[in-house]
Amino acid sequence: MSDMTFEKMINQMTPAIYESLKQAVSLRKWPDGRRLTEEQTELCLEAVIRYEVENSVPEENRVGYLERRTCGAGATGAGVSPEMAGLARDATRD
């Protein structure tokens, strides 16, 4: 019986394995084309996130990172160009 635990797996994960798991989660497929099950997706995602935390991966390189954009304006919208204001208005329409 293997004594490999999730913790040991994370500690022994190489950057190449991390990238492979990250791609598998993104595509929902293994490199050979087989689809990941829901459980496999969850475990791979957890492993990727844990690797990122343990290895201090910069925030902007982490899975799920969304850049915050303010367009140079505060909460009031001051300084937003008319074009950008129109985009925001269009995004809130039903």
Each residue's pLDDT tens digit, 12-59: 999 999 999 999 999 999 999 999 999 999 999 999 999 999 888 888
* Domain count within the chain: 1
Residue 1 predicted with pLDDT over 50: no
The lowest-confidence range among 7-11, 38-42, 58-62, 87-91 is 87-91
Q: Give the separation between CA 52 and CA 46, rounded to whole angstroms.
A: 10
CA proximity to 25, closest of 55, 4, 46, 6 = 46
In sequence order, the 6+-apart residues with CB closer than 8 A to the CB of 51 are 10, 13, 18, 21, 57
Amino acid found at 72: G
pLDDT value for 68? 77
Q: What is the domain extent for residue 26?
A: 20-59
Domain-located, residue 47: yes
Classify residue 28: in a domain, yes or no.
yes
